[in-house]
Structure 1
Amino acid sequence: MMNVYESDKIRNVVILGHGGSGKTTLVEAMAYVTGAVKRQGRVTDGNTISDYDKEEQKRQFSISTSLVPVEYDDIKVNLLDTPGYYDFVGEVEEALNVADAAIIVVNGKSGVEVGTEKAWELCEKYNLPRMIFVTGMDDDNASFRQVNVTLNEKFGRKIAPFHVPIREDGKFVGFVNVVKMEGRRFTEGSDYVEGEIPDYLDKHLSMSRESLIEAVAETSEEFMERYFAGEEFTYDEISSALREHVIDGSVVPVLCGTGLNAQGMNALLLAIQKYFPSPKQCKINANDLSNGELLRLDYDCTKHVSAKVFKTIVDPFIGKYSLIKMVTGVLKPDTAIYNVNKEEEEKAARLYVLRGKEAIEVPELHAGDIGALTKMNTLTTGDTVALKGATVVYEAPKVSVPFTYKAYTAKNKGDEDKIAGALAKLMDEDLTLKAVNDAENHQTLLYGIGDQQLEVVVCKLMNRYKVEIELTKPKFAFRETLRKKVSVQGKHKKQSGGHGQYGDVVMEFEPSGDLEKAYVFEERVVGGAVPRNYFPAVEKGVQECVVKGPLAGYPVVGLKATLVDGSYHPVDSSEMAFKMATILAFKKGFMEAGPVLLEPINTLQVTVPNQYAGDIMGDLNKRRGRVLGMDHIPGGKQVITADVPASELYGYSTDLRSMTGGIGDFSYEFARYEQAPGDVQAKEVAERNKEN
């Protein structure tokens, strides 16, 4: 069993940082130091609490967010261990939706990386208090000083070093507490005793102390004046300024340690307890459905029960868990819970807190805590649960839109239904995954944030659900149209004992000027050459033909078809015969009317730091893109807007990441159709002919 914690004794902390910086190892170390696990697991051994999924163990990095609650002193810290690779950003966004503070993990050897900057941007966006933990200090090549210099350059004077590492004979043996100006020496594991401050640290320590005092001075005008007057601050002044301003994000402490040897964990947990807010000090956004008002609410145990579902786990072995963050009230087992979004009631039989994949039953959950409900059929990520009659809905996680896609097919015929069911479960878990049926091009598409995520989906389908799919390059939604006006005759004549078939039309085909519509049909028949009752059959022929054009089998747009003449037979003519005659006329006429392929054009927006703008523009030119504009935005970035053919954006997420070291971002939307260049048309027609 796990103890039950009141709102003010809870800390909800998301762990962010670049892929491979040591987040999962840090969480494992905190779990070990607090006694949540008896033995510290390692990512390389595949036995950590967080990375319990087979895919994570195989690849040795986190794919989904996992929850690891640890108990320290008299508080409970709900650690949300998130993936560092950008393909799995949806998982990070779900965790940010319920976190009250963040630890950004930086590897002391690799230093500040793209993922560090992304983590900082997310904290700014979600307004989260944060600390930076520099890990890997046991590595000879780790430089805490260099990390601090870079952090100061990138993020300004908020950066406040709380620690300076002490190294002896290439080993990490302790640290200086810069706030108290006292030395600390490790005894066993994360435990430490007070010790001397070595002389050789004087220069480094005075620089760090200066940074810390500067960050404190920045928090008020009175402090700023005293700082410039050369006055010293007392320990109590520094401590209370830090308590107040770490919470509002205007001071960002930097701590150090090593996850692998679990050193520095006690100091980190103490800082979490002391400086990070409890839910009691936080507010939450909500929407009142009864009057459409936006509300800012407190986490409050005295009100009726309400909570929000921020994540769903669907595991073939352990079942479905809906992870919730309690907002108001105290939830107990066997409570009838009302899903406000879906207006349905279900019973929450048991309550759990999850630690990795382990479900620990609890007697109650208080406002601000994170727990899990199981076997709740109607609950999906983003739902609000409360007591019947409630009208307040909490903000659902805002998840990134997926723009990378591939076509997928079942490897084994007959597996389609199984695949659809398995994908539905994966989409419940991962909101950035979308399966789309593209009926027009007879293909099924899988959308995600990046190629790596789609690869993981293929593996999960195989390992979890025993179905195999193949990913291929999708067909793009070209269109066909014509450029000239032509007049053609179509005659359908068959004689076979008894009634024959006779239909004869003269049609004019020309551009209609409206590419939004497939066709416009008119008739100018003089003197009843074709009786009126056959006009609908002629239009039906046109209607059938535009679905699949004669050039490359794509839908036809922008066509005007006019029936001008023809002839009929009083006995042998029929609607069917006139439809067939029209089809013959269409196939012949369309190919004589200067047929062209139109390609879909997307308006693309790429957001990159200024130094990459030139590379991006050069690359867009290669993709036949037309740059429409460049806008400078805060943070030394630019948004480049360009029109680019959809087919040229295939694989763009991978290319953009390699061009920008992973920091570039993009989105696009369909703009219009434009005539495809001759070489593109020739290639497409040849490919379609090969298929047929």
Structure 2
Amino acid sequence: MADNRSENRPGAAGRVPVADRPDTVRNVALVGPSGTGKTTLVEALALTAGAVNRAGRVEEGTTVSDYDETEQRRHRSVQLSLVPVAWDGVKVNLLDTPGYADFVGELRAGLRAADAALFVVSAADGVDDATRTLWEECAAVTMPRAVVVTHLESERAGFDETVESCRDVLGGDRPDTLLPLHLPLHGAPAADGHRPVTGLAALLDRRAYDYSSGERAAGDPDPGLSPALEQARAALIEGIIAGSEDETLMDRYLSGEELDPKMLLEDLERAVARGDFHPVLAAAPAADGSRHGLGTVELLELVTRGFPGPPERPSPAVTTVRGEPHPPLSCDPEGPLAAEVVRTSSDPYVGRVSLVRVFSGTLRPDETVHVSGHGLAERGHVDHDEDMRIGALSVPFGRQQHTVSKCVAGDLATVARLTCAETGDTVSAADDPLLIEPWPMPEPLLPVAVRAHGRADEDRLSQGLARLVAEDPTMRLERSPDTGQIVLWCMGEAHADVLLERLRTRYGVAVDAVPHRVPLRETFATRASGRGRHVKQSGGHGQFAICEIEVEPLPTGAGFEFVDRVVGGAVPRQFIPSVEKGVRAQMARGVATGHPVVDIRVTLVDGKAHSVDSSDAAFQTAGALALREAAAGSRILLLEPVDRVRVVVPDEYVGPVMSDLSGRRGRVLGTEPVQGGRTCVQAEVPGVEIDRYAVDLRSLSHGSGSFDRVYARHEPMPPQLAAKVTAAESAE
């Protein structure tokens, strides 16, 4: 967009803007794959807005984004970062989201806190399938979107080709809604023949903006560029008219009338705010010592003038903490307080720090609020409702925290001392507690089993894991009742590595990753009988119990049956439940490989007792011995869990996915088309074969596939595999 108003005067470097009204706030999430330059773009925008004194620096050694120690070590964003800047009287909250698929939880938190999205696309790499999927998700909730093309300095870069790729991949059946507002201007060829991009030609007002000096200088475009500019301008005007609410524009345009650029710009801004038009812009970081990066002024103009403020976007649904209906929220500073925790972190000096987005009301320091979290108990987030007094309010800027006196509806701030708050929790008034509907989170499907490295770590492990769960709703903590393992269910390998690193560096807990064991079962393949004899005499009171049982297999999923067929009082009535208890205890311990026994019927047919020495404990022991003897005379099957799996991938990957599932001993049940050129493949696959499927599917589908799994039943494992599993477990 053209800057037709007075020169913007940014504030002093490092000064954080404060919003007094919701309409002076813009919340924008930058999304896109890793390597597209989102963080670099955020730092360039902060420099242009005067928030930093040189690219990305607020003080020596401190950057406005990727300041977390984990991010610095990995050279990759792993968490949501907030960078607030001021432009033309508007506070712009730039939400830098991770681009790697493992940290989709942080990405979705950024989208929840935002009212619009900037999709960052590398001109050298184009648009990938993961970006298309995210674009479709934003379209489903009518979130305003724009595209920013980066890496124009690359030899493989092509702005026109990237725009066409965006129109093809993201435009769907309306590619005319994705059009550039400017065309790049190239400087003189370098020694290698590459022509660097030095400026932009604005299409609507036919002006050129030269960035080659490090400052934005306006002028007239080269007359030799007129045919290309006029062709692109005509396409842009037609796109604006197609989405305009003024039905007379098309007739006036077709009649040859020269439409007022200011009027077209206003129509464009309204269409962008509605989510009906998606401008494409170009951007590049500033050269050393320069303030303006290529296209950064145009981007800030688009954000402040084209993207909607919080009052123009619907707030999430809300209920009372008891689940009762509540009137919809409005972005009113005087309304009931309703805020949501979008990120949780721990500071070694301050403690737990919560980044919140206020949807209604005004949040002030040192007031008592209600913190509620419901609906994620299966991931380790126990439902809770607590009243607590919050500490100071501040706005983050790199490592710094700038204290503020309030946070109005539509804005974001960090809150100290919310000791029980977790990511996704609702913060509301203590006298009117509310619950905001949580944002959708993908299911973590990569299991990582861990154990404490040493005795000292065992004492700290529970507390460290609890803090991880509070910070990250995409992680699920499980203590398996079948295997006894502590399992972290993660989004992928990088996610797992970051969690273990945080345990070690942030919470001082060293853990070892161990092989994850799926819950296997045992069952009898044939009928068998067994005799349990437990007779001991030692001077005083002895132990005497004898029982005879018959065991027969039952159909899969039938469970356990115990039948009493004792006649003549061979086993006194009071000891028959003891025999069953002993059998059940032995079933839980297993009879061959140490896995629980299922799907059998045990019939007690005979036994003997002693009037003095028989007891409940003696007959429990006899029942267990009888089952073990029966197992020795029968063939024992090892059962493995089978999951019903649904895999959704673009149509071009259906063949490779089906072939891969078959190679995992899966049975493909069928396929069905899904909206957006995708197919859902349904199959049943043994659980041991898909432990790492979250990683493998991502590689197979280039990050565009997703899947879910639901336990179906246990089935006999092939004998050769059962022998390998048994040998491996025996060696541990």
**Given the two structures, how large is their TM-score scaled by the length of structure 1?**
0.94
Supply the AA of the counterpart residue of 1:276.
Answer: F
Q: Does 1:616 align with 2:640?
A: no
Q: Does 1:164 align with 2:183?
A: yes
Select between 77-86 and 279-288 the one with higher mean Cα deviation: 279-288
Classify 1:222/1:649 alpha carbon distance in 2 versus 1 (closer, same or farther; 3 Å): farther
Q: Does 1:180 align with 2:228?
A: no
User: Are 1:46 and 1:57, in contact at CA under 8 Å, matched by a contact in 2?
Assistant: no
Equivalent position SS for 2:358 = strand
Q: Does 1:264 align with 2:295?
A: yes
User: Are 2:209 and 2:216, in contact at CA under 8 Å, matched by a contact in 1?
Assistant: no
Corresponding residue for 1:402? 444
Aligned partner of 1:299 among 331, 334, 343 = 331
- Equivalents in 1 of 2:140, 2:544: separation in Å? 71
Corresponding residue for 1:194? 219
Corresponding residue for 2:18? 4
* Cα deviation code 1:221-247 (max 9, x no counterpart): 655666777776442442232121111
Cα deviation, residue 565, structure 1: 1.4
User: Are 1:401 and 1:432, in contact at CA under 8 Å, matched by a contact in 2?
Assistant: yes
Cα deviation, residue 514, structure 1: 5.9
Corresponding residue for 1:34? 49
Alignment of 1:442-481 (within 5 A): 442-481=484-523
Alignment of 1:520-559 (within 5 A): 520-559=561-600
- Equivalents in 1 of 2:218, 2:360: separation in Å? 41
- Equivalents in 2 of 1:504, 1:8: separation in Å? 83
Corresponding residue for 2:30? 15
* Cα deviation code 1:307-328 (max 9, x no counterpart): 2222212232453221122223
User: Are 2:393 and 2:405, in contact at CA under 8 Å, matched by a contact in 1?
Assistant: yes
Q: Please give the root-mean-square deviation of Cα atoms over the aligned residues, in Å.
A: 2.4
Corresponding residue for 1:338? 370
Aligned partner of 1:143 among 146, 152, 158 = 158
- Equivalents in 2 of 1:491, 1:349: separation in Å? 68
Classify 1:503/1:322 alpha carbon distance in 2 versus 1 (closer, same or farther; 3 Å): same
Corresponding residue for 1:246? 272
Classify 1:510/1:304 alpha carbon distance in 2 versus 1 (closer, same or farther; 3 Å): closer
Q: Does 1:629 align with 2:629?
A: no
Percent identical? 36
- Equivalents in 2 of 1:260, 1:317: separation in Å? 36
- In the alignment, structure 1 segments of 5+ residues that lack a partner are none
- Equivalents in 1 of 2:346, 2:226: separation in Å? 51
Corresponding residue for 2:720? 679
Classify 1:429/1:46 alpha carbon distance in 2 versus 1 (closer, same or farther; 3 Å): farther
* Cα deviation code 1:144-191 (max 9, x no counterpart): 101011111111221021111001222221111112222221254352
Supply the AA of the counterpart residue of 1:4.
Answer: V
Equivalent position SS for 2:487 = strand
User: Are 1:19 and 1:85, in contact at CA under 8 Å, matched by a contact in 2?
Assistant: yes
* Cα deviation code 1:351-384 (max 9, x no counterpart): 2111233111112222211111111223332333
Classify 1:611/1:526 alpha carbon distance in 2 versus 1 (closer, same or farther; 3 Å): same
Supply the AA of the counterpart residue of 2:680.
Answer: V
Supply the AA of the counterpart residue of 1:682.
Answer: A
Classify 1:208/1:469 alpha carbon distance in 2 versus 1 (closer, same or farther; 3 Å): farther
Equivalent position SS for 2:695 = helix
Q: Does 1:413 align with 2:424?
A: no
Classify 1:328/1:592 alpha carbon distance in 2 versus 1 (closer, same or farther; 3 Å): same
User: Are 1:346 and 1:376, in contact at CA under 8 Å, matched by a contact in 2?
Assistant: yes
Classify 1:340/1:41 alpha carbon distance in 2 versus 1 (closer, same or farther; 3 Å): closer
- Equivalents in 2 of 1:425, 1:93: separation in Å? 20
**Given the two structures, how large is their TM-score scaled by the length of structure 2?**
0.89
Aligned partner of 2:81 among 66, 79, 83 = 66
User: Are 1:314 and 1:426, in contact at CA under 8 Å, matched by a contact in 2?
Assistant: no
Corresponding residue for 1:87? 102
Cα deviation, residue 654, structure 1: 1.4
Equivalent position SS for 1:560 = strand
* Cα deviation code 1:272-316 (max 9, x no counterpart): 111011112222023232783364432112334432222212232
Supply the AA of the counterpart residue of 1:531.
Answer: P
Corresponding residue for 2:377? none
Select between 235-244 and 57-66 the one with higher mean Cα deviation: 235-244
User: Are 2:203 and 2:233, in contact at CA under 8 Å, matched by a contact in 1?
Assistant: yes
Select between 325-334 and 353-362 the one with higher mean Cα deviation: 325-334
User: Are 2:477 and 2:487, in contact at CA under 8 Å, matched by a contact in 1?
Assistant: yes
Cα deviation, residue 677, structure 1: 1.6
Supply the AA of the counterpart residue of 2:479.
Answer: N
Equivalent position SS for 2:114 = coil
User: Are 2:668 and 2:682, in contact at CA under 8 Å, matched by a contact in 1?
Assistant: yes
Alignment of 1:554-565 (within 5 A): 554-565=595-606
Alignment of 1:256-405 (within 5 A): 256-259=282-285, 261=287, 262-289=293-320, 292-293=324-325, 295-339=327-371, 343-405=385-447
* Cα deviation code 1:402-459 (max 9, x no counterpart): 1111111112233123122122212211111222111321211111111110011122
Q: Does 1:667 align with 2:708?
A: yes
- Equivalents in 2 of 1:684, 1:340: separation in Å? 45
- Equivalents in 2 of 1:432, 1:304: separation in Å? 29
Equivalent position SS for 1:334 = coil
Supply the AA of the counterpart residue of 2:151.
Answer: G
Equivalent position SS for 1:618 = helix
- Equivalents in 2 of 1:561, 1:109: separation in Å? 68
- Equivalents in 2 of 1:98, 1:624: separation in Å? 43
Classify 1:366/1:574 alpha carbon distance in 2 versus 1 (closer, same or farther; 3 Å): closer
- Equivalents in 2 of 1:202, 1:317: separation in Å? 62
Aligned partner of 1:48 among 63, 72, 79 = 63
- Equivalents in 1 of 2:436, 2:729: separation in Å? 50
Equivalent position SS for 2:578 = helix
Supply the AA of the counterpart residue of 1:144.
Answer: F
- In the alignment, structure 2 segments of 5+ residues that lack a partner are 1-14, 189-194, 288-292, 374-383
Q: Does 1:425 align with 2:457?
A: no
Equivalent position SS for 1:8 = helix
Cα deviation, residue 660, structure 1: 1.1
Cα deviation, residue 345, structure 1: 3.1
Cα deviation, residue 688, structure 1: 2.9
Supply the AA of the counterpart residue of 1:218.
Answer: A
User: Are 1:487 and 1:508, in contact at CA under 8 Å, matched by a contact in 2?
Assistant: yes
Q: Does 1:208 align with 2:232?
A: yes
Equivalent position SS for 1:439 = coil
- Equivalents in 2 of 1:414, 1:130: separation in Å? 50
Equivalent position SS for 1:546 = helix
Corresponding residue for 1:512? 554
Cα deviation, residue 2, structure 1: 3.7
Alignment of 1:629-668 (within 5 A): 629-668=670-709
Supply the AA of the counterpart residue of 1:487.
Answer: S
- Equivalents in 1 of 2:136, 2:327: separation in Å? 25
Supply the AA of the counterpart residue of 1:166.
Answer: L
